[in-house]
Amino acid sequence: MRQKVFMLVDAAQFYVSCERVFQAALHARPTIVLSNNDGCIVALSKEAGKLGLARGQPLFQCQQIIRAHHVQVYSSNYPLYQEMSARVRRVLAEFSPRLEAYSIDESWLELTDLAIDDLTEFGRTVKARVYQDTGIPVRVAIAPTKCLTKIACELLKGDERYHDVLDVTRLTAEQMKAMLERVAIEDVWGIGPNYARFLRNYGITTARDVRDADERWLRKYLTVVGARIQMELKGTSCLPLEVKRPPKQQIICAKSFGREITSQAELEEAIATYVVRAAEKLREQDSLAGRLTVFLRTNPFDTGAPQYTNEFVIDLTYPTAFTPELLKRARAALQAMYRDGYRYKKAGVVLSRITPLPVVQPDLFGEVSLVDHYREMRLMAVVDAINRIFGRDTLVFAVQGWTRSWRMRQERLSQRWLSRWEEILTI
């Protein structure tokens, strides 16, 4: 059987790179991108890293460095990043029909059935083409398994000798051994912090140690997941490409507010907005939900204020993706939970018990009408199509409100160059 060949394409400092595409002045300048509500650093350029800034660092701790070195600071511009990610994938799809979108900045391609003489040169071609068409710099790792591509990509981040392209399939056994010895156990894809601490207690500290560990012992303590990781490190592919992602079994939409909320009316707006977003995601994967959970909480870090946390679970009479029905149920849940006298910091909704759209069980007693069901789905299809063509929130539900002063704080947001006509780049 022919050996599998996978290519992992990882966008370097993706959020920062997206900002630099439309702002040439940012190149070679220290730049950071912040998390929701501008709380902490989620992405930073190499120049910012050299100043001592780190991912996950709270913004208030960095103010002195930011002022002293004129660090450029931006709020997360998710519409821009999503569109740039889609553009990168459209370029990658021209090189292989088998592509898995792993995350917003990472994609796998399978090259097994492609006639490629020099994989390294092919990787350089992909890297150059992506940069030419999108302006996004990427790293390219090629290996016989997905796990090995992740390890190769980790090595690329700290080694400039490879010029961001590494073909593991060309390495000898000794070179592979040396490569795995350089990767700490915490950096092995699929091994979380708890497993890493457990393995270190038994002297397993590197990727090579995992590969050479006793198979029965590893399977006993790390279950089948650990066994698959070990096989992948040995060069045997156990994790196939997911060209089509399986439908989510749970959809969560929840965010911390830009400011604390004290009124029920504003909470209704926020929860309604989250319900609308969750329902859109549900319909995107052609599914229905049988359970709706609404939760809210105060700020746990404000120890001087009274604390309150609660959630309300509703089992729906029949699975649905009809936004008005979900909004009605969510509002009833909020009315049951809401308490005066608290400053609410976060709320959210969870859709679960998800089933495929074609599976609609009629009701013996007539409460579930298939005619009404199909009418509701047609209405939602029209609403989704209009918002997809003309932009999100072209059509909204009145209960979502208009000002939404509670929304996520983004005080340093760049322009949405690719999704808003009024913000399109002008020269």
CA distance linking residue 205 with residue 61, whole number of Å: 32
Find out whether 289 and 320 touch, Cβ atoms under 8 Å.
yes
What is residue 253's predicted lDDT score, i.e. its pLDDT? 94
CATH superfamily of 1-170: Reverse transcriptase/Diguanylate cyclase domain (3.30.70.270)
Q: What is the average pLDDT across 240-265? A: 90
Q: Which of 299, 310, 212, 210 lies closest to 259 in space, CA to CA?
A: 299
**Of 128-132, 306-310, 333-337, 372-376, which range is least confident?**
372-376
Which superfamily is assigned to 172-245 in CATH? 5' to 3' exonuclease, C-terminal subdomain (1.10.150.20)
pLDDT band, very low/low/confident/very high, at 359 (cuts 50, 70, 90): low
Shortest CA distance to 143 belongs to which of 114, 109, 189? Answer: 109
Distance of CA 47 to the CA centre of its chain: 25
**What sign does the CA torsion over 62, 66, 69, 75 have?**
positive
What average pLDDT does the segment 290-315 reach? 93
Three-class SS state of 71: coil
Please report which confidence band the pLDDT of residue 416 belongs to, taking 50, 70 and 90 as the band edges.
confident
Dihedral, CA of residue 74, residue 78, residue 79 and residue 85, to nearest 10: 110
At 367, the pLDDT band (50, 70, 90 cuts) reads low
Does residue 125 have a pLDDT over 60? yes
pLDDT of 14 higher than 90? yes
Whole-angstrom Cα distance, residue 281 to residue 153?
31
Helix, strand or coil, per DSSP, at residue 55: coil
Instruction: Judge contact between 347 and 406, C-beta under 8 A.
Output: no
Q: What is the largest CA-CA distance in the chain?
A: 71
**Closest CA relative to residue 88, chosen from 43, 146, 137, 42:** 137
Q: How far apart are the first and last CA of the chain?
A: 55
For the segment 306-322, the average pLDDT, to the nearest whole number, is 93
What is the sign, positive or negative, of the torsion defined by CA atoms of 147, 153, 155, 161?
Answer: positive
pLDDT at 224 over 70: yes
pLDDT at 30 over 90: yes
> What are the tens digits of pLDDT across the range 69-115?
999 999 999 989 999 999 999 999 999 999 999 999 999 999 998 88
Of the pLDDT bands very low, low, confident and very high (cuts 50, 70, 90), residue 369 is confident
Q: What pLDDT sits at residue 362?
A: 61
pLDDT higher than 80, residue 422: no
Q: Residue 363 has what pLDDT? A: 61
At residue 366, the pLDDT reads: 60
**Total residue length of the chain:** 427
Name the pTM for this structure: 0.85
Query: Strands 344-356 and 251-261, how do they pair?
Result: antiparallel
**pLDDT of amino acid 244:** 82
Whole-number average pLDDT of the chain? 91
User: Quick check: 257 pLDDT over 80?
Assistant: yes
d(CA 125, CA 108): 16
Q: What confidence score (pLDDT) does residue 85 get?
A: 96
How confident is residue 407, by pLDDT bands cut at 50, 70 and 90?
Answer: confident
**For the chain, domain boundaries:** 1-170, 172-245, 251-400
Q: Which listed CATH number (3.40.50.2300, 3.40.50.720, 3.30.1490.100, 3.50.70.10) goes with 251-400?
A: 3.30.1490.100
Return left, alpha or beta for 56; rule: phi > 0 is left, psi -120 to 50 is alpha, else beta: left
Predicted confidence at residue 206, as pLDDT, reads 93
| Bridge pairing between strands 287-298 and 344-356 | antiparallel
> What is the token pair recorded at 166?
């590494």
Whether the pLDDT of residue 225 is over 70: the answer is yes
**Residue 368 pLDDT level (bands cut at 50, 70, 90):** low
Stretch 326-338: mean pLDDT = 95
Dihedral of the alpha carbons of 118, 119, 123, 125, in degrees to the nearest 10? 30
Tokens matching residue 335: 């009315």
Q: What phi and psi values does residue 356 have, to the nearest 5 degrees?
A: -65, 150
What's the pLDDT band for 361 if we cut at 50, 70, 90? low
pLDDT at 1 over 60: no
